[in-house]
Amino acid sequence: MNLKKELINITAEYFEATINFEKLTEASKKYKKLLNDLSNIEIDNEIGRQDIELENGKALGTFWAASCIDDMVRTKKFIKGIDEAIQEKIKKNKSLHILYAGTGPFASLMLPIILRYSSHNIKYTLLEINPLSFKILSSIIQKLGLETYNIQLVNEDATKYKVDTSIPDIIVSETMQNGLDKEQQVVIFYNLMSQAKLDTIFIPEKIELFIGLKESKIPAEKLQYKHFHKQHKVFELSKNTLSFKKWNSNNSINKLTFPQIQTILKKNTLKKFNQVVLITEISIFNNKKISFNESGLTIPKYLSNINHNITNSLIINSQYIINPEPRLKFEINPQKLN
Ligand SMILES: C[S@@+](CC[C@H](N)C(=O)[O-])C[C@H]1O[C@@H](n2cnc3c(N)ncnc32)[C@H](O)[C@@H]1O
């Protein structure tokens, strides 16, 4: 079978309305195998595993970026979300420009889209900072015979990238971990949002961080969403937060700062709980979410135990910070019992 057709068949499961885990697992294995075979460059070694450390966080090594496909529900929900965003845009626009920042070696969230929309007038800008990932991506595009498509490959830093005169209609990036730790999603979206049109769709459209509480006495294997209780939103990354000028950039991305947020958890509220956690919620497009624990990106992050013998209430000061290790910085101050 011709390679393009084979890829279209293998990735069909990502476009289904619902999730069938068995079929999704099979699709995901076949998709990754085909891309690995196509690439023909060994990445399971020291160079392939090497992250790039930057002033605003790290860019994943090629091996790790390629492994993102295995986070199946994430991969499916992003691809489906991009598909729905295109459907919405092509109702109004004859041509589209899609920018994908942080493609990894396989542009895995966009390849199935590029192949399916080949008869539409869509320009793609594929942006990747890691030279090895970029080299593999360029060779895959060539091997798939996509050089004649309107694809621009750019080996640059998405936190500094200047958008050309054709401003993208859709911008996609998945450069994050749970808690928006370590990677550069915030600065990448900040840079691209500040150059976008009012109606540019960002995927994901919203990422929120909440201070939450975990119920006591539930065995680890039985823990579910209902056992985690969101208490206070402490950070949001979306076009909304940009347009309401909650950002304070001082015209320089290096100085991007966010407000300090105080969360007070009173003794009464704390009763049933034994841990303070950070909950990540991701809305991909049109309010469709990656649910709690469904992906590595939405696993709750442990912040602290609650010691009921000494704690009256908790005061949590938190602030999202940008530096070589971006994260929600927090300080938990227990108010002692008298
Ligand atoms: C989490 S991986 C995701 C890979 C792929 N997009 C996927 O979803 O399967 C993030 C990718 O973004 C790239 N990246 C991170 N920071 C970047 C930056 N500032 N500019 C361009 N690419 C970046 C990394 O090198 C890595 O390949």
| Residue list, ligand 1 pocket, CB within 6 Å | 59-60, 65, 68-69, 101-104, 108-109, 127-130, 133, 157-159, 174-175, 184, 188
CB 227 within 8 A of CB 215: yes
Q: Which atom of ligand 1 is nearest to the CA of 160?
A: 19
In words, the CATH class of domain 3-336 is: alpha beta
**DSSP SS3 for 270:** helix
Separation of CA 97 and ligand 1 centre (Å) = 19
What confidence category does residue 40 fall into, taking pLDDT thresholds of 50, 70 and 90?
confident
pLDDT tens for 67-84 read 999 999 999 999 999 999
Minimum CA distance residue for ligand 1 atom 6? 103
Cα(234) to ligand 1 centroid in Å equals: 25
Q: Phi/psi of residue 158, each to 5°?
A: -70, -15
Q: What pLDDT, on the 0 to 100 scale, is given for residue 1?
A: 62
Residues 6+ apart with CB under 8 A from 320: 180, 186, 209, 234, 235, 258, 326, 327, 328, 329
**Which of 39, 126, 128 gets mutated to test ligand 1 (max ligand atoms within 8 A of its CB)?**
128
Distance CA 107, CA 101 (A): 9
CA of 104 to the centre of ligand 1 (A): 5
Q: How far apart are CA 110 and CA 144, in angstroms?
A: 14
Q: Where are the alpha helices (DSSP H) in the chain?
A: 3-10, 21-39, 46-49, 62-67, 72-90, 111-116, 131-143, 185-193, 239-243, 267-270
**Strand intervals (E) in 92-238:** 95-101, 121-127, 151-154, 170-172, 201-203, 206-215, 228-238
- Sequence ranges of the domains in the chain: 3-336
**pLDDT of amino acid 258:** 92
How far, in Å, is the centroid of ligand 1 from the Cα of 15?
22
Q: What is the DSSP letter of 163?
A: P
pLDDT at 246: 47
Residue 240 banded pLDDT, cuts 50, 70, 90: confident
DSSP three-state, residue 41: coil
For residue 71, which atom of ligand 1 is closest to its CA? Answer: 9
Pocket test for ligand 1, best of 70, 129, 178 (most atoms within 8 A of CB): 129
Beta bridge partners of 280: 209
